[in-house]
Structure 1
Amino acid sequence: MYTLTTFRSVPSFAVGHVRDLRVRWALEEAGQSYDLRLIGFEDKESPAYRREQPFAQVPVLHDGDLALFETGAILLHLGERHPVLLPRDPAARAQATMWMFAALNSVEPYVGNLANLVAFSMDQPWAEAQRPVLEEIALKRLGQVDDWLEGRTYLAGEFGAADILMTTVVRLLDGMGYVERFARLTAWRDRCTARPAYRKALAAQVAQYVVEPTVA
């Protein structure tokens, strides 16, 4: 049994984007049940939690006595146990692992910078000048992924952990119109987010954080 640690509550803008979604999705694809351990923001700086996650972030995955942080490492660990996430053929596995690293290192920093600027900083006097710079590099990266997807259904053969990571990265720009400039990328994102495991994982995260309004 796996145990996934995440926050008990988050601001409304983060619902559907907290990175435990990546792990939930992977576990659903692998058909694995898991328990949740919910912590408050006040708990993340505790000495006990910092021994598990030195950067005071979520998620953490417990697999027996093993505790892992960083979603790339967690999905790689799960892929080693569940072939639906990472192929067993060495060459195919290397390609899939390459795209896992690409999602986190070559795409996420630039997409994340743009998403944060648009979502949180456009009221700042410096933001208008900075936006074209961040848009240029983010769009370049999105275009490069779009080019790679020509003639491909998924990033590296069959659907797997690389697609999970890259989809959650691309979704940082949801509602901003950037991804939709690229037809192949949009179609790939839509294929990934139409998967039952994704829908189940997303629904579980949203349900965890949504508080039903009180009826007078």
Structure 2
Amino acid sequence: MTPSITTFRWVPPFARGHVRDIRARWAFEETGVAYHVDLVESAKTPEHRAFQPFGQVPTYRDDTVELFESGAIVLHIARQAPGLLPADPPGRARAEQWVIAALNSVEPFVTDLVTVDLFQADKPWSSTRRPAVVEALRARLGDLAAALGDKTFLDDAFSAGDLIMACVLRSVPRNEILAAYPTLLAYLDRCTARPAFRKALADQLALYAPADKRAEVTA
């Protein structure tokens, strides 16, 4: 069967381009693997939770496995076809290391900022907590910038680790925070200039036009 992923049929404008099926889409495009997208209205239904216990997207299916969690999905795709993991075992291990680092050592700090700025911005403690959240994120970005140094990518060539790291960095405010780390900003722009990312982004954004049009008609 053609591999398939799930994602939302519609999301509000602020989330567009950032729903995590973009990670799987990008991996498919980098490896040249055809895929199918199944659309869901909600990830909180019993049917979806039976597959994804936390009520999130994306999920993944192929002939051999059913998966959830975007990092696991990207690594599975990368292992099926060349393009995102080096051929040599040490290189593969380092690429997988950076996938895990992006998800565990960087993304939680980004998520904290998104939470105070967006999802819980109306809470009385949000503005008070924000300076500490920004300070912690800046420290972690400084660590990442030092690790990247003057390299083009995190290791010898673009890999699944760069794909996930770039997806994480896309949620960092560019002017307020990321611009203070020119090497990271340039790195992010190199990653997202790749044709595979541009195609994945365009395909995700194209999902929402029909739903927007229906909303205009019924308004």
Question: Fold-level match, TM-score > 0.5?
Answer: yes
Measured at CA, do residues 129 and 100 of structure 1 come closer, stay the same or move farther in structure 2, by a change above 3 Å? same
Q: Specify the alignment match of 1:161 in structure 2.
A: 160
The aligned length equals 214
The separation in 1 between residues aligned to 2:5 and 2:54, in whole angstroms, is 17
Match of 2:82 in 1: 83
On the 8 A contact 1:2/1:63 being kept in 2, the answer is: yes
Partner of 2:141: 142
In structure 1, the residue matched to 2:202 is 203
Question: Which range is displaced more, 171-180 or 149-158?
Answer: 171-180
Kindly state the Cα deviation for residue 174 of structure 1 after the two structures are TM-superposed: 3.9
What SS is found at the alignment partner of 2:137?
A: helix
Give the TM-score taking structure 2 as reference length: 0.91
**Distance change >3 Å, CA 181–CA 30, structure 1 → 2:** same
SS of match in other structure, 2:170: helix
Cα distance in 2 for partners of 1:121, 1:176 equals: 22
Matched ranges for 1:8-157 at <5 A: 8-41=9-42, 44-157=43-156
Cα distance, 1:124 vs structure 2: 3.3
SS in 2 for 1:52: coil
- For the 8 Å contact 1:9–1:40, the answer to whether it is kept is yes
Is residue 188 of structure 1 aligned with residue 190 of structure 2?
A: no
Task: Quote how far apart the aligned CAs of 1:101 are.
Answer: 0.4
Question: 23-32 or 112-121: which moved more?
Answer: 112-121
Shift of 1:177: 2.4
Alpha carbons 2:24, 2:74 under 8 Å: kept: yes
Q: Secondary structure at the residue paired with 2:207?
A: helix
Measured against aligned partners, the alpha-carbon deviations of 1:16-53 in whole angstroms (never above 9, x if no partner) come to 10000000000001111111110111xx3333322211
Task: Note if contact 1:99-1:156 (Cα within 8 Å) is conserved in structure 2.
Answer: no
**CA positional deviation for 1:175:** 4.8
Given residue 50 of structure 2, which amino acid in structure 1 is its aligned partner? Answer: R
- The answer (yes or no) to whether the contact 2:44–2:56 under 8 Å persists in 1 is no
Counterpart AA for 2:91: A
CA distance in 1: counterparts of 2:88 and 2:60, whole angstroms = 26
Identical residues among aligned pairs (%): 46
Q: Secondary structure at the match of 1:68?
A: strand
Give the superposed CA RMSD.
Answer: 1.8
Superposed CA offset, 1:153-201 (max 9, x none): 1112210111111111111124552111101000000000100110010
Deviation of 1:4 (Å): 1.1
Q: 1:7 corresponds to which residue?
A: 8
Residues 88-134 of structure 1 show CA distances to partners (whole Å, capped at 9, x for unaligned) of 21111111111100000000001111122122444433222201110
Q: Unaligned stretches of 5+ in structure 2? A: none
User: 1:3–1:61: 8 Å Cα contact kept in structure 2?
Assistant: yes
Distance 1:75 1:93 in 2: 13
